[in-house]
Structure 1
């Protein structure tokens, strides 16, 4: 049984076995092909988001119409809900996560005790929040994979790690919007697992360059997405959701989005000051504490990750080694 989304309906991309994927409306464990149900026949879910304001009331009506050609969810393949044009990723956005990472990456020559190191980075995080400076970088759409697809671990990735995150899905073009109006540009929310190879995060050949996000985060399939998009109106408070990741049944991440330094509205507004957000774009809000680097246990062949966020469903992915 798949976990059902909050609210009366959700949106996703589905297919029959080996069939052509279609944009679908999920309601009460059944799916309606929006390609046939909407009179303008969208080719994909991104097209629905591009007409979000006019389509949302129609989706409500369709969800309540039992006379339509509904298909049982059971038996359909669930794909990544959409293909974004842009992915914006928030780094160092969970207070406890960054403290844990800083301690995990301490140099053996660091004279500080663990307690001193934690206190120092905690002060830095508090200062960042007070100065209102989010940290955002860009990911590639080619990393997106389905919520139940296998995750191929590249042979060069020596320390692959999980990072379950809340992802906001943009509804309409947003450029230089205020924090107060930013959530009006969010269509809904979904789950993203923003995988990272910890061994290649930092450039060792020239430390002054800093982080290498291309190398460590952008392998094909490194962003399992979904299972579906839940409309924003069905999520009472994106700043109060539980983010949980289990590895082979053992809970590794279990944190509230309350621990975010910068909430969805602040991130959307911040990004929009420099770049234009487009319908279907993803804003990943950062990973909470409990990554593999913290536990000293990185991903390997055969591992099964189960990620859930309150009201957004569950994704399950199995890790497989890249075949030579």
Structure 2
């Protein structure tokens, strides 16, 4: 099941974007999508029936000029996106997730996750969290952990809420798509390794974030973030050359039409280049990999309203299109 995309969902910055699409009964294929909502099958354009978006990203330096030419050729046969199924735009080998990267969001979470016995007034706990954020920024220490590619789903697919998830929550994020291998790259060079950007909703079950049986071992990201479908992705990969400033984009999530998150990426403690550089200091980032950059204030814990059966989330990031997903309780899917 999926939520049918509206025609306006095709809108994005620049002359084209990448997608993974399929006909109702056909295999998925890489596509070039134009802002008028039409798609060109890139298997035929590149003469490779087994082509994937990762293949294009593996050869990004030579593929990008070819994609520009194809986008400008209005005589090529195209299909309306509305007639096709939209999948997650890329199947990454690795997913790097950023935690605690939006100042206001972290302060809100610090207040919401009050430790047992902490009876201080909210103002005191907010002040404490603000000092922690200031120290992290001064020490230049981002927080990155690993997600599972199997949690990724399409931008219009239903999201199944597992029966065990006591507090499922939303976290809309700007996602970076790697286009060149990156290992121990400098901040000044990091954006040279970015092919483009897309939208991710990094769902989290707040009830299982912390291991209550062994508090000393800390967070349990496997349990809380990696259920199948917990990372709706897309709809498009917009090339980096079409995004003027990734550190000044609006991240907006609406729940059943009501705005819950609405913040600029300018509120990030560590910008896109820093996040890519930091992740590359330990790991080797590969073409098609994702670096999720964190989520702004306004999640369900802040509002006291968690996800439930029938909810529809609509997420937008400036110039990257719209994703729209419906929540379905396990057993009702």
Q: Same fold (TM over 0.5)?
A: yes
**In structure 1, the residue corresponding to 2:82 is in which secondary structure?**
coil
Partner of 1:214: 222
Instruction: Decide whether the 8 Å contact of 1:23 with 1:35 is kept in 2.
Output: yes
Partner of 1:185: 193
* Residue 276 of structure 2 corresponds to residue 268 of structure 1: yes
Partner of 2:316: 308
* Residue 104 of structure 2 corresponds to residue 96 of structure 1: yes
Counterparts of 2:68 and 2:177 in 1: how far apart (Å)?
19
* Residue 281 of structure 2 corresponds to residue 294 of structure 1: no
* Residue 14 of structure 2 corresponds to residue 7 of structure 1: yes
TM score, norm. by length of structure 1 = 0.98
Partner of 2:32: 25
**In structure 2, the residue corresponding to 1:119 is in which secondary structure?**
helix
List aligned pairs for 1:147-186, cutoff 5 A: 147-186=155-194
Q: Post-superposition shift, 1:182?
A: 0.2
**In structure 2, the residue corresponding to 1:84 is in which secondary structure?**
coil
List aligned pairs for 1:203-242, cutoff 5 A: 203-242=211-250
Instruction: Decide whether the 8 Å contact of 1:34 with 1:42 is kept in 2.
Output: no
* Residue 74 of structure 2 corresponds to residue 66 of structure 1: yes
Counterparts of 2:301 and 2:316 in 1: how far apart (Å)?
20
* Residue 86 of structure 2 corresponds to residue 78 of structure 1: yes
Instruction: Decide whether the 8 Å contact of 1:42 with 1:48 is kept in 2.
Output: no
Counterparts of 1:176 and 1:59 in 2: how far apart (Å)?
29
Q: Post-superposition shift, 1:108?
A: 5.8
Counterparts of 1:37 and 1:43 in 2: how far apart (Å)?
10
Task: Provide structure 1 residue ranges, at least 5 long, that are not aligned to the other structure.
Answer: none
List aligned pairs for 1:30-41, cutoff 5 A: 30-40=38-48
Counterparts of 2:56 and 2:293 in 1: how far apart (Å)?
23
Q: Post-superposition shift, 1:246?
A: 0.4
Instruction: Decide whether the 8 Å contact of 1:93 with 1:285 is kept in 2.
Output: yes
Partner of 2:4: none
Counterparts of 2:20 and 2:122 in 1: how far apart (Å)?
46
After superposing the two structures, state which structure 1 stretch, 100-109 or 208-217, moved more: 100-109
Q: Deviations over 1:270-289 (max 9, x none)?
A: 11110000000000000100
After superposing the two structures, state which structure 1 stretch, 62-71 or 41-50, moved more: 41-50
Partner of 2:3: none
Q: Post-superposition shift, 1:64?
A: 0.8
Q: Deviations over 1:101-141 (max 9, x none)?
A: 01111146323211111111101101100100000000000
Counterparts of 1:320 and 1:286 in 2: how far apart (Å)?
25
Q: Post-superposition shift, 1:40?
A: 4.6
**In structure 1, the residue corresponding to 2:227 is in which secondary structure?**
coil
Counterparts of 1:320 and 1:244 in 2: how far apart (Å)?
22
Counterparts of 1:108 and 1:269 in 2: how far apart (Å)?
37
**In structure 1, the residue corresponding to 2:25 is in which secondary structure?**
coil
Q: Structure 1 residue aligned with 2:289, among 281, 292, 295?
A: 281
Give the superposed CA RMSD. Answer: 1.1
Q: For this pair of structures, how many residues does the alignment match?
A: 324
Q: Deviations over 1:61-111 (max 9, x none)?
A: 000111212112221111100100000000000000000001111146323
Partner of 1:106: 114
TM score, norm. by length of structure 2 = 0.95
